[in-house]
């Protein structure tokens, strides 16, 4: 009865909204109504309204959005007889309607995301057996040693846990290649990794041919293993000790469960975060997906496999003959097929692995191109809206995830359309300045408010626009190619642990400087039109303001493609662990302040230590979380300093045995709580006004920095970029140094 009343209430509300949408009112009345809605949403946001109040705020915003859609559809399109105006106008209209569709799909998916789950307890005698797959292609042995060591250290009975390195870089096909150099390289890799696996007591597995890329590699692992569950970790995704403790129990409580997916957490910044200097304080790009969207998908049994940091049921995979390999995004494709067969998924909102993001802009674009092309392949081959077996909510969830990757089309439209008017006088938007102000300004404000309601602590204002802008230039042709030939894309491994010894403009940066120049010319055209056609000043000002916003985003993008050089080869993680530093017969207590797979910074309690200097050899001793046979790591002192608290030294690990790799993994990756704490410090809702001011100041600085890189002036030195707002506690959320 109660459920029926709720449905009736929302049906009545929807009917009233639709009636209000089509109600003919004056511009002034619409502007006042829009401002009232914005004010109500601000008030509700101020009181942190949740539940039904949150939904009411979103419903109010929806009414304004629909009024804008009604106005755009009925009053702003030029006559079809004026093809030179109508064609760009209809393209812009379609781009805007796509944005509205994505907004409504987002409202459906994430308006009420599930809260975080607590793992069910399970008795040791009922624990299922687990095979851990670490697929590899061309990754360095040291990187694999860290991941395998972390997987080996997971807290789980040893007789029920088997670690597999699935090596696709040492296949028979590669070892027998007609290219002798490539064949020798593959043979050397195979021998090196076989020795590593033997030393770490994990299993090495390769195959005859590289067929179906990662999906084929995983399926080869399925054929040679027998565990009840399969955990998948990318080569650069090291799990915490508690990974299986937090995930295995769900499979005993949910008999029809095929997947437990956890977030991908990264210890290094992506190119945007690194070049803009936002990694320590601003929520990372992936946190919007893993912090909100996957929780929203989870409500509708639509959380999908993301290729790593996941646990899957072998029985379910056997039903589909393993991992799907038609597309180059085998993860989402596999989940779609299993969901359509009635299997369920669960999302655990806790970072339990630490991975690496692409370091360079070129590798970042390569990764995103693969994701975009793979999603387009799935939409082409397994269109979710008509996929038999899916529920309606699941169809909408998958459709939302796939349609998102069409954003390059809309972003290009929004970039080009104001220039069409400023350069060529094309009337693509038939409205006066007053109409544009009344409808478009309220629509944009409400849109920002709704985005803030949905993603406030996980995505700051304008950041999504910037991420989309920097991807659009290269994703647009990539998507067109897969639409023209769905079978053309091939799986390409994302580069790991790249280094940037010198500051430089990315090899993919040239188009962004060209676009920036065109937008600057648009500003000049705006000024010329205001002088030459003062009777069209209102339209010119509106179009010029639109172009100016594009210019601000494009200027910020110049900073993204201007890559900052770094000498650090591995990424540091801030920790606080007691230790002892041993040098000869001297033993000093200390504190490990930060650590990477390559070294650590220690603060020693003693203010003087004879013989301590750069190049000195010592030993780090600490208590590992796991029961390891050793607790000492050999080190070389690389730098040192002194303050009132004692001596601070930077050391490089001298790894000599497999146990040393396991100790390093224990130091860096074992404790999952440090990832959660770091994320929470970055999760702050800075609001639309504050966020806009911050973004515009960053964009101004990055425009100057990008132009300095272009003209070779970066060596002259520039001031630090505008600092991101501090956390509520007033402390910087530092993970890397």
159 as an active site residue: the answer is no
The count of other CB atoms within 10 Å of the CB of residue 380 is: 15
Q: CA-CA distance, 3 to 434, in Å (whole number)?
A: 44
Q: Which residues contact 504 (CB under 8 A, 6 or more apart)?
A: 562, 563, 565, 709
Q: CA-CA distance, 363 to 443, in Å (whole number)?
A: 36
CA atoms in the 13 A half-sphere facing the CB of 127:
19
Which SS3 state, helix, strand or coil, does residue 197 take? helix
With CA atoms as reference, report the closest residue to 698 among 595, 570, 552: 552
Q: CA-CA distance, 287 to 283, in Å (whole number)?
A: 6
Q: Catalytic one among 167, 234, 280, 331? A: 331
Q: Which residues contact 570 (CB under 8 A, 6 or more apart)?
A: 497, 596, 597, 598, 599
Q: CA-CA distance, 634 to 621, in Å (whole number)?
A: 9
CB 560 within 8 A of CB 275: yes
Q: CA-CA distance, 86 to 505, in Å (whole number)?
A: 39
Strand pairing of 203-205 and 161-167? parallel
Which SS3 state, helix, strand or coil, does residue 114 take? coil
With CA atoms as reference, report the closest residue to 309 among 339, 287, 331: 331
Burial, 455: exposed, middle or buried (Cβ in 10 Å; 0-12, 13-18, 19+)? buried
CB 539 within 8 A of CB 432: yes
Element (H, E) at 588: strand 586-595
Q: Catalytic one among 168, 236, 349, 465? A: 168
Q: How far is CA 170 from CA 137, 162, 190, 714, in A?
A: 8, 21, 5, 43
Q: CA-CA distance, 557 to 539, in Å (whole number)?
A: 27
With CA atoms as reference, report the closest residue to 265 among 352, 185, 334, 364: 352
298 as an active site residue: the answer is no
Residues marked active site are found at 168, 331
């Amino acid at each position: 009865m109660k459920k029926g009343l709720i449905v009736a209430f929302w049906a009545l509300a929807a009917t009233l909204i639709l009636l209000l949408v089509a109600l003919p009112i004056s511009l002034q009345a619409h502007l006042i109504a829009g401002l009232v809605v914005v004010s109500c949403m601000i008030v509700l946001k101020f009181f942190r309204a949740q539940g039904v109040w949150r939904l009411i705020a979103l419903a109010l915003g929806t009414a304004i959005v629909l009024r804008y859609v009604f106005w755009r559809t009925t009053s702003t399109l030029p006559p079809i007889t004026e093809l030179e105006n109508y064609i760009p106008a209809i393209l812009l209209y379609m781009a805007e309607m796509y944005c509205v569709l994505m907004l409504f799909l987002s409202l459906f998916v994430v308006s009420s995301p599930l809260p975080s789950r607590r793992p069910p307890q399970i008795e040791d005698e009922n624990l299922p057996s687990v095979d851990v797959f670490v697929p590899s292609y061309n990754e360095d042995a040291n990187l694999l040693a860290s991941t395998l060591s972390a997987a080996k250290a997971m807290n789980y009975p040893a007789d029920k846990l088997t670690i597999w390195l699935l090596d696709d870089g040492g296949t028979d096909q590669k070892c027998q290649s007609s290219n002798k150099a490539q064949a020798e390289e593959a043979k050397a890799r195979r021998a090196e990794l076989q020795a590593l696996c033997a030393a770490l007591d994990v299993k090495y597995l390769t195959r005859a041919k590289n067929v179906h890329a990662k999906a084929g590699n995983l399926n080869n692992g399925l054929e040679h293993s027998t565990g009840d569950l399969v955990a998948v970790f990318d080569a650069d995704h090291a799990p915490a000790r508690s990974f299986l403790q937090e995930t295995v129990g769900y499979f005993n409580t949910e008999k029809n469960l095929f997947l437990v997916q956890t977030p991908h957490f990264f210890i290094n910044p992506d190119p945007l975060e690194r070049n803009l200097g936002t990694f320590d304080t601003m929520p990372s790009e992936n946190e919007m997906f893993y912090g909100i969207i996957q929780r929203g998908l989870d409500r509708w049994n639509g959380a999908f496999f993301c290729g790593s940091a996941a646990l899957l049921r072998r029985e379910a995979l056997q039903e589909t003959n393993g991992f799907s390999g038609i597309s180059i995004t085998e993860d989402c494709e596999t989940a779609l097929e299993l969901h359509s067969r009635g299997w369920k998924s669960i999302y655990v909102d806790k970072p339990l692995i630490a991975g690496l993001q692409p370091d360079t802009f070129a590798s970042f674009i390569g990764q995103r191109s693969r994701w975009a092309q793979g999603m387009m392949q799935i939409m082409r081959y397994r269109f979710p809206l008509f996929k038999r077996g899916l529920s309606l909510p699941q169809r909408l969830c998958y459709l939302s995830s796939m349609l998102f990757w069409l954003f390059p089309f809309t972003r290009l439209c929004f970039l080009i359309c104001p220039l069409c008017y400023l350069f060529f006088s094309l009337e693509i938007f038939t409205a006066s300045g007053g109409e544009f102000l009344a409808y478009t300004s309220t629509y944009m404000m409400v849109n920002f408010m709704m985005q803030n309601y949905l993603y406030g602590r996980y995505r700051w204002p304008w950041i999504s626009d910037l991420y989309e802008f920097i991807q659009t230039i290269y994703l647009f042709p990539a998507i067109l190619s897969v639409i023209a030939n769905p079978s053309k894309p091939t799986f390409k491994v994302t580069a790991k642990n790249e280094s940037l010894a010198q500051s430089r403009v990315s090899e993919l940066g040239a188009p962004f400087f060209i676009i920036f120049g065109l937008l600057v010319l648009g500003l000049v055209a705006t000024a010329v039109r205001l002088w030459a056609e003062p009777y069209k000043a209102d339209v010119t000002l509106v179009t010029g303001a639109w172009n100016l916003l594009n210019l601000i985003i494009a200027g910020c993008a110049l900073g993204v493609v201007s890559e900052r050089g770094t000498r650090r080869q591995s990424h540091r993680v801030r920790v606080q662990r007691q230790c002892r530093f041993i040098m000869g017969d001297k033993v000093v207590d200390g504190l490990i302040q930060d650590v990477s797979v390559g070294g650590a910074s220690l603060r020693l309690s003693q203010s003087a230590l004879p013989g301590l200097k750069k190049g000195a050899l010592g030993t780090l001793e600490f208590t590992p979380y796991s029961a390891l046979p050793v607790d000492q790591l050999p080190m070389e002192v690389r730098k040192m300093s002194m303050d009132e608290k004692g001596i601070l030294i930077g050391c490089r690990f001298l790894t000599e045995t497999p146990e040393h790799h396991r100790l390093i993994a224990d130091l860096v990756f074992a404790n999952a709580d440090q990832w959660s704490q770091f994320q929470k410090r970055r999760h702050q809702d800075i609001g639309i006004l504050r966020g806009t001011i911050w973004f515009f100041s960053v964009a101004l600085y990055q425009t100057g920095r990008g132009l300095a890189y272009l003209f070779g002036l970066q060596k002259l030195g520039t001031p630090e970029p505008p600092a991101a707002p501090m956390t509520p506690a007033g402390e910087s959320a530092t993970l890397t140094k």
